[in-house]
């Protein structure tokens, strides 16, 4: 009877150790996802800034083209 109890306790300890290891792996995975998400957010912010600059540059170019077209059409 004592041997059965001892074996049950050892089995529970092994299961607990395996569960702990699995949870530690999950925590590392979550950290990796969090880090990747932060990097994606930085890229998105950079791209947003780039798109804003491009939009401004295209607007300025269109204004200049309109001005040149106005000068050429008045000749």
Q: What is the pLDDT of residue 73?
A: 83
Q: What is the pLDDT of residue 46?
A: 97
Q: What is the pLDDT of residue 52?
A: 98
Residue labelled with tokens 């949870």: 23
Residue labelled with tokens 């299961």: 15
Instruction: Tell me which long-range contacts 36-43 makes (C-beta under 8 A, separation of at least 24).
Output: none
Q: What is the pLDDT of residue 70?
A: 86
pLDDT in tens, 13-71: 999 999 999 999 999 999 999 999 999 999 999 999 999 999 999 999 999 999 999 88
pLDDT confidence tier of residue 74, bands split at 50, 70 and 90 = confident
């Amino acid at each position: 009877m004592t041997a059965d109890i001892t074996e049950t306790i050892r089995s529970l300890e092994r299961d607990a150790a395996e569960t702990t290891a699995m949870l530690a792996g999950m925590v590392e995975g979550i950290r990796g996802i969090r880090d990747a998400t932060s990097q994606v957010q930085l890229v998105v912010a950079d791209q947003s800034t780039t798109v804003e600059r491009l939009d401004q540059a295209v607007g300025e170019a269109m204004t200049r083209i309109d001005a040149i077209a106005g000068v050429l059409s008045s000749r």
